[in-house]
Amino acid sequence: MTKEHKGQRVGYIRVSSVDQNTERQLEGITVDRMFEDKASGKDTNRPQLQAALEYVRKDDTLVVHSMDRLARNTEDLLRTVRELKAKGVAVEFIKPPLRFAAGTDSPMDDMMMTMLGGFAQFERAMIRERQQEGIEAAKKRGVYKGRKPALTPEQVAELRKRAAAGEQKTALAKEYGISRETLYQQIKAD
Q: Provide the annotated active-site residues.
A: 16
CA–CA separation, 28 and 65 (whole Å): 11
Angle 153-164/180-188 helices, nearest 10 degrees? 90
CA–CA separation, 136 and 144 (whole Å): 8
Picking from 91, 42, 50, 48, the residue whose alpha carbon sits closest to that of residue 68 is 42
Cβ(5)–Cβ(58) below 8 Å: yes
Alpha-helix residue ranges (DSSP H) falling in 19-106:
47-55, 67-70, 74-86
